[in-house]
Each structure stands twice: as C-alpha cells, then as structure tokens.
Structure 1
Amino acid sequence: MSEHGDDRGRTTRRAVLGATGAGIAGLSGCLGGSSGGGDDGGAGGGTTTGTVDSAQPFRNKTLRFSTWSGTNATVFEEEIKPAYEEKTGGTLEIVPGWSEILAKIRAAPADSPPYDLTVTGDRAHYIGLQSDLWEQIDFDQLDNAGVIKQNLLREDPISVPLAYGVMCYAYDEAAIGFDPGEWSDLTTEAEDAALPGSYFTNSLQMASIVSEEMPFDEELYSPEGHDAIFETLREIDTATFYTGAQDMWTAISQGVATLGQYFFAYSLKKRQSTDSFDIGLHVPERTTGYIDDYHLVRGTSRGEMAHDFLDFMLSAEMQTTYAQNFNMGMVNPETDYPSATEENVPLDNEALADVSFLEWADVAQYAESLNERFNELKSEV
C-alpha cells in the first residue's frame, strides 16, 4: 500500500521507477520473470533476445493486439497497423474489446491466450496481476523505455503505458449558464449534471478532488475520507448517473442535463461529428484520468514480437501518429500534438501531478462498501 502525502510532486503510487531507462531496466531485472517466450516456442519457451536486425524480422508471424473498441481501435487499425506491418513484415491483428477482455483470457487455456498483448484499465490490471494473467515485461528489450513520463509508470513494472486520457466538462453551450472552471463548480454553479454511474470510481475520484477534507484525491484511499466524498456528491445537482456515453449525450441533447463529466478525447470526437447542438469542452486544472497500460498475456508465444511492437509504439514517430489521430496524452515527451490536445490535456510531469490516476490496489479493500454506498446514492436521483 502507498503512503498518502502532499498532493504536489507525489511519488506514492506511480512515478517510483525514475525517468531513465536504466532505472526501469534495473527494477525489471530484480523482479525477474519470463518475457513471454520466443516467437517459435510455446508458452514460457525460454527467454527472448533483443529485436532481430533483419529488414523484416517478423515475416509470416502474427501479433494479436487487443485494445479499446471504437475510436482507439480504429486508430490502430488504420494508422498504426500498416506502418508496423510495412516495417517488420509481420501481421498486426487488432482485436477490439472492452469489459470482456479479462474474461476471455481466463476462459482460454493457459498456453493459448486469445491475444498476445492487451490494454487494461487499472482495476483489470490489478485483478489480472492477482490471477497471474500477465507475463513479465523485459524492459531491457525496450530501447525507448527511458522516454516514458515518470508520473505514468506503475510501482509494478509489469506493463507498458502508451497513452492516457483526462476527464472534462462536456456541455451544451446554450444551456449551461456559466463558464466551467474547476470541478468544484459542480457544487456551486452547475444545474442538471450527468455524472458517470456505471461504476463508482470516476464520480468518486472527482468528488475527492473537490472535497477539501484531505489533500487532492486522498479521501478515496482512506476510510476517514469516504464520508466527505459522498457529502460532496450530494451537493451536486445531479440529473442522472449515466451508464454509457450515449446515455450522457442523449440526456444533454434532450435537455435532461446541461453538462456531463466525460473523457476529453472521446468528447472532442463527439463534437466533431455532432451538429444538433453546440458542445463545449473544458478540462479542469485538477482532474481525473486513466492510463492505457499494455500487458503481455500469459502463455503467449509472441514475446519477442510483442516487445518489438511496444518499443515501436514508444517511438516519437508513432506516438505522434497516435496523438494526431486521437486527442490523448502520450507517454513520450517528444510527441508532436494537435493544438486541441496542447490546449487542454496536461502534458508534462508537473501538470500530471494534478491528475488523479486511479490505483486500484490502494482502493480494493474498500471497493465493496464504496460500491454499495454509490448504488444507494444513485437510487436517490
């Protein structure tokens, strides 16, 4: 468990590996573990070596890569897949997924996983770690490991972050009635808000930032702060707790809600495709976020190719390709961003200290009681 301290420059749950490749590689070596087996071997078929120096080292080989459905998968399919296949001669099979990702891994034989690399959210990362669903990443094989922003690293270097997103105000410009600033405006200015309701973490993280009971988001990680979170949520004029993004957009478009709490990159995509009403967006300086970590799945025989692809994705060129097509933050500080990202998304380590990235390992013991209280709160709306 982490220690909870001041909200500036925190190094309690992430950012403990240091910003250099040597620091990452050293810790990885201490942990040991396999790197997913050789490309021609079975599960755990020996350790892998560095990237092969031939012109197309993975010709006639396929890497099954699971990532979030929707825009995220489209970017990988249309922009990243062709570039990687041209470079290596291999095939990148994009497998869109969401809540079923862990279930499919569990259901598959241990030596025949449904994919070789997969994205996870924080909760799935933790559950998969407890269930031995992940192989150890060998950071020695990643020439670009040293570029990863310090505040995006996990305490357990068993996954590789590639991108991150932050939550914003998404609102009907004609109906909101005020200029959004910090999330605390929800308790003082906002009327008819749509808050995330499919799971408790996003709403509770936001409320813990607004509450001043403890520094930053520490209320979430301490039983002494939980009452303050729910008291804060009850101060918000909530019209609905939405279960999916479309529920939120429908509530806003139909006048049930004037604003919602949602992810900036996805909200910007929605604004670009909507003409029924004018969507305004604003990212508070202190906000919530998520990190897209990628894991080597247990039993994969594509360990070498997986490491090569992760290194490819950490390069400034591919991070820029990703960023230009989807307005997320990237882990490589040399990324060239579109103006909308530069203007709205925290991009350097100092700014990232003001983003609440959930650490499920630190909240797991309270999850059941928090979820019960959240469901009770939703029933009151």
Structure 2
Amino acid sequence: MPANPDRVAETSESESESTSTTERVRESVSRRGLLSATAAGSATALAGCTELVSSGGGDPLRVSVWSGNYADRFKKSVVPRYEEEFDAEIQVQEGWSDILSNIQTAPDDDPPYDVTITEGNFYYYGRQDDLFHEIRRENVPNADELIDHYAEFRSTEYGMPVDGAPCTIVHREDIDFEPESWADLSSTAVQESNGVGVDTGFWWYPMYAAAVGMDDRELGEEMHDPDLHDDVFETVRDWPIESWASSGEDIWQAFQNDVIDVAQWYYEQVEYDIDSYDGLTHTMPEETTGYLNHWCVVKGTDKRDRAEEFVNFLMDAEVQSAWSEEMPTLFCNENTEYAGDLADDLPSNSEEAANIAFPDWEFLSDYSGELSNEFTAMQTNS
C-alpha cells in the first residue's frame, strides 16, 4: 500500500472481514511484545504462500513481498536479474497482514525472512517492536542516489525506500466529465453518477485523498490536525460511496455491475491492467496520496550482509528501470528511467514527490484507533 497486493481482478481471494493486523497479532505470543492497538483497520490477513525460485547454490536469501501481482511481477523482473548477477538463490515468500506477526512469533535467532518489504504502517510498527536491524549505510551505497524527498521525509535508519504507488482516480471513459482532483469526488457530476468505490482495508488512503481534495491545509495536512478529523470524515460521507471494497476484485466487479462510475485505487494496481476492462480509464491527480515501501533487514537473520547487499541491489537505477517495464510503481533512485509513459504520472524528483501525501504514522499512531472505528461506523451506517 498500500493496496493489498491481492487486489487485482485476477485474484479469487476476496476478504470482507475487518480483523485488524493488531487483533491478529494479539492472538499469538509475540517474541518482542505486541504491536500497538493503533494498527487497527488493516485488511484481513491473507494466507501467504512460499515459492522457491531455483538458481545458484548456497542457502537462499528469504525475501518477503506483497502477495498477488506484485509478487508475480517481482519474480519476473527482479529475481532472475539478482540471481544471475550474484549467482545466489532467492526464496520469495508472499504475504500481507501476516508479515509482522510471522516475524514476532518466530524464535529470535530464526526469523521467517531475511529481508522484508514494509509500507508506512508496517515500517512504523515494526520499528516500534524492534523487528529490524539498523541499515549499515556503507553496505548500501545506492542510498546516495535517493531522491532527496524520499531520503528525508521518513527515517531510513531501519529500512530503505525503494518503491511505492500513488492513489489514482479510476473512472468510466464515457462519464460526463473527467475527474482531475480528489475534490471532484464531491462534485455534482459524481453525486449524480452511479456512485464511488473506496478501499476499506486501508482507511487512511481514502481519508488522505479526501483531505487532499479539501485543500484547507497544505497537501492533506488536515489529517495531522485532530481538530479537523471530523471535517475530513464529513467530506468522505458526502461522497456517494456504493462500493466499500476489500479487494481490487470488488472494484472491478462494481464497475462491471454498474454499481459505481468512479473509484479511489492504486496506480501500481491499475496502470498496466486497466486495458483489460472495457470502458475504464484512470486519471492521476497532480496532488494525491499514496504509499512508499521501505525494505528492511529482519533481526535475527544470519545473512545480514547479503540482505543489505540485496536492498542495495533493489535501489540500483538500472534495476529499477528494468523493474518498471513489468511493474508501474514509483521508484526512489533519482537516476531511474521509467518505462513507456510512466514518467508522465510518477515522480522523478523531490518537487514531484512532494505532491504525494504519504501518511505520517508518527502522528497517526495516537489517533488511528478512533479513526478506524469511525471509518468502520461510517461504512456500517451507509
């Protein structure tokens, strides 16, 4: 996310329960303590599956990635390149909400992964629970090529920013107007449409999108003022929401069943897939919200050097440029050359990156419980 990586039309796994990451973690014995209750609101955990990608000899490097088409594209574009270059084997393990709890419940000296992906929520709570090694910068020289904004807006002490995705507006091609900003979801044209679809597993993204559209404060800062949270909720309530989606499948089905004409979703899950759906397109707002993945070395691994080498590999400009041919995600190296027309939508410098309101979990952690409950109540009462 982040979007749940199984949220694509091809997946058959669609969860509608509202069990949070924290609630699931509380059901097991943590090796380093439980996650804060403020992680509430995350999507129901999807069962991870482990796949061994055959290559060179030696113990494989165990790498945890998001499930679904993220994993498919990662294995197609990243894994073979790494294995050929380093004559080493990667064991790709797919998951989602179970990633942190799997680390917590494992023995201290035998974590389930050597390297794990994290978005902002996971990265914050994983650091609070002491799940990650500090990144030794001498082993990741590609950090010197980070776009400044990604290097500065969030700590890189325990994880390196590599990739992510902004939220985009999915809509019908024949709608009476083309929505260009999140404010347009409050417009008369959208009010008179069939309706809107939003993500429910990760409530903070529709909330931040609404805040960006309100434009009362600079780029979504309404979410960082508790006195304005009610105003943000009121904006979301005014959207004609007809699909509270727990998966990408829900969104595509809602369009196909003429339930909605507009939706909030994720560029990385949309750009390379939307041509498969008749009559749909998407528009990336100039100012938006989105998620950024920090890649972390898991505490307890006996492959810390190799893990940092792998993170450095992911940060390489040539690797990211080739990766973009398979996955339409934003990348953090200032020298990355995006495939096709991706650079028209995705940031290539700090000025453009600053137009994405990434959720601030240092702040949200104090309020996420009540925000999650209010968002759930809004959905229940709709």
Superposition TM-score tier, normalisation by shorter sequence: 0.7 to 0.9
Cross-structure match for 1:362: 363
Cross-structure match for 2:231: 228
Written as runs of structure 1 = structure 2, the 5 A alignment for 1:117-128 is 117-128=115-126
Deviation at 1:346, TM superposition (A): 2.6
Among 56, 62, 76, which residue is 2:60 paired with?
A: 62
**Amino acid corresponding to residue 268 of structure 1 in structure 2:** E
Distance (whole Å) between structure 1 residues aligned to residue 351 and residue 253 of structure 2: 36
Which 4+ residue blocks in structure 1 deviate beyond 4 angstroms? none
Range moving further from structure 2, 69-78 or 358-367? 69-78
> 3-state DSSP class of the match of 1:184?
helix
Any idea what the Cα deviations from partners look like across 1:220-251, whole Å, max 9, x if unmatched?
Answer: 11211101101211221221221111111110
Cross-structure match for 1:115: 113
8 Å CA contact retained: 1:282, 1:344: no
8 Å CA contact retained: 1:193, 1:236: yes
8 Å CA contact retained: 1:133, 1:298: yes
**Amino acid corresponding to residue 343 of structure 1 in structure 2:** D
Structure 2 residue runs of 5 or longer lacking an equivalent are: 1-55
**Amino acid corresponding to residue 181 of structure 2 in structure 1:** E
Cross-structure match for 1:299: 300
Aligned residue pairs total 321
Deviation at 1:59, TM superposition (A): 5.3
8 Å CA contact retained: 2:65, 2:92: yes
Cross-structure match for 1:262: 265
Among 209, 212, 216, which residue is 1:213 paired with?
A: 216
Cross-structure match for 2:30: none
Larger of the two Rg values belongs to structure: 1
Cross-structure match for 2:250: 247
Deviation at 1:156, TM superposition (A): 4.8
**Amino acid corresponding to residue 115 of structure 1 in structure 2:** Y
Identical columns (%): 26
**Amino acid corresponding to residue 236 of structure 2 in structure 1:** L
Cross-structure match for 2:12: none
8 Å CA contact retained: 2:243, 2:250: no
Deviation at 1:265, TM superposition (A): 2.0
**Amino acid corresponding to residue 141 of structure 1 in structure 2:** N
Distance (whole Å) between structure 2 residues aligned to residue 323 and residue 111 of structure 1: 35
Structure 1 residue runs of 5 or longer lacking an equivalent are: 1-57
Distance (whole Å) between structure 1 residues aligned to residue 287 and residue 335 of structure 2: 23
Cross-structure match for 1:171: 171
Cross-structure match for 1:353: 354
> 3-state DSSP class of the match of 1:216?
helix
Cross-structure match for 1:158: 158
Distance (whole Å) between structure 2 residues aligned to residue 80 and residue 212 of structure 1: 39
TM-score (norm 1): 0.81
8 Å CA contact retained: 2:203, 2:372: yes
Cross-structure match for 1:284: 285
Distance (whole Å) between structure 1 residues aligned to residue 215 and residue 351 of structure 2: 21
8 Å CA contact retained: 1:168, 1:282: yes
Distance (whole Å) between structure 2 residues aligned to residue 89 and residue 280 of structure 1: 41
Cross-structure match for 1:378: 379
Distance (whole Å) between structure 1 residues aligned to residue 89 and residue 377 of structure 2: 48
Distance (whole Å) between structure 2 residues aligned to residue 347 and residue 252 of structure 1: 32
> 3-state DSSP class of the match of 2:273?
helix
8 Å CA contact retained: 2:321, 2:339: no
Written as runs of structure 1 = structure 2, the 5 A alignment for 1:86-125 is 86-125=84-123
Distance (whole Å) between structure 1 residues aligned to residue 259 and residue 269 of structure 2: 21
